[in-house]
Amino acid sequence: MSAPSGPAVDPRLADAFLAACLAELRAPKPGNVHDFAPGHRMTVADFETSAAVSAPYIAWRGARIGDRVLGAMRATVAAVGCNTNLGILLLTAPIAMAAGQGGDLRRELHAILANTTVEDAEKVFEAIRIANPGGLGRSESHDVAAKPLVTLTQAMAEAADRDRIALQFVTCFDDLFSIGLPAWRRSEPAGDPLRRTLAVYHAYASAMPDTHVTRKHGPEVAEATRIKFAEHREAFANYDISQLLNYDRELKVLGVNPGTSADLTVATEFLARALEDK
């Protein structure tokens, strides 16, 4: 699968995707990779490269979700040798497809998710196997190691109770519209635009147990992490870099990475930019 180029790529969406990915990296998000500190054997450069090689696929005019995700994941692993962005790709591909339709974005998104195909599922399953994240994982009904017999949205529905990214496919991205976008809109980027990214990240990490943390460490650790994020509300609101980085070190010593919250933050940044352009 060769990378789309020229007129095949929507430059507006490619720029929005890159801007969203880079904004998320600039902010000192406790537990995650950012400009102030690497983590979990990954660096900011890995994520910057991943964003650059993925952008043409996410912004691929007329392409379906499966093609966008699979193309971007192949490009990512070829460029950096590991999975840095599967969750980001799964979340942004449907948004990009909806934004490219030109109508009301949420209405278009609802129609797209209602009409995903088995072929979409096949290609996303292949992307998950390439990424090998422990994401949807193995199950009795829709094992990503096997050929899917259902549509992508149906497969995501089976994983929705344990994966917050999968849940977005069956709720028409309700978390982004009810949690992420309100936090984005409440937080003006005056002074330092990183405050807005941090506000979105905190909104997710303090509102619900991060499902990446749950998979890695169990529900008790995930809930304790959520509570701790809520307790750090003032540090986020006041942009207290010292406290944020202290908490960042604490989480990384424990190997705790609120990766789902970070992926939802990128998706919110992308969605906000896509909406602003309409």
Only one residue has tokens 């959520």, namely 226
pLDDT confidence bin for 136, thresholds 50/70/90: very low
pLDDT tens digit sequence for 264-276: 999 999 999 999 8
Q: Cα separations (Å) of 269 from 18, 83, 183? A: 10, 21, 11
CATH code reported for the domain at 6-276: 1.10.4200.10
Higher pLDDT among residues 4 and 209, named by residue: 209
Give which of 65, 116, 117 is closest to 93, Cα–Cα: 65
pLDDT confidence bin for 2, thresholds 50/70/90: confident
With a cut of 70, say whether residue 135 has pLDDT above it. Answer: no
Contact 49/80 with Cβ under 8 angstroms?
yes
pLDDT tens digit sequence for 61-71: 999 999 999 99
What average pLDDT score do residues 77-94 get? 95
Instruction: Give the model's pLDDT for residue 144.
Output: 66
Q: Mean pLDDT of all residues in the chain?
A: 91
Answer yes or no: pTM beyond 0.75. Answer: yes
Instruction: Give the model's pLDDT for residue 140.
Output: 44
pLDDT tens digit sequence for 162-215: 999 999 999 999 999 999 999 999 886 666 788 999 999 999 999 999 999 999
Instruction: Give the model's pLDDT for residue 149.
Output: 86
Tell me the C-alpha distance between 230 and 98, whole Å: 33
User: Residues 6 or more apart from 92 whose CB is under 8 A from it?
Assistant: 17, 20, 58, 266, 267, 270
pLDDT tens digit sequence for 199-212: 999 999 999 999 99
Q: Is 222 helix (H, G, I), strand (E, B) or coil?
A: helix
Q: Is 9 helix (H, G, I), strand (E, B) or coil?
A: strand
Sign of CA dihedral 134, 136, 139, 142: negative
Burial 148-164 (b: 16+ CB within 10 A, else e): bebbbbbbbbbbbebbb
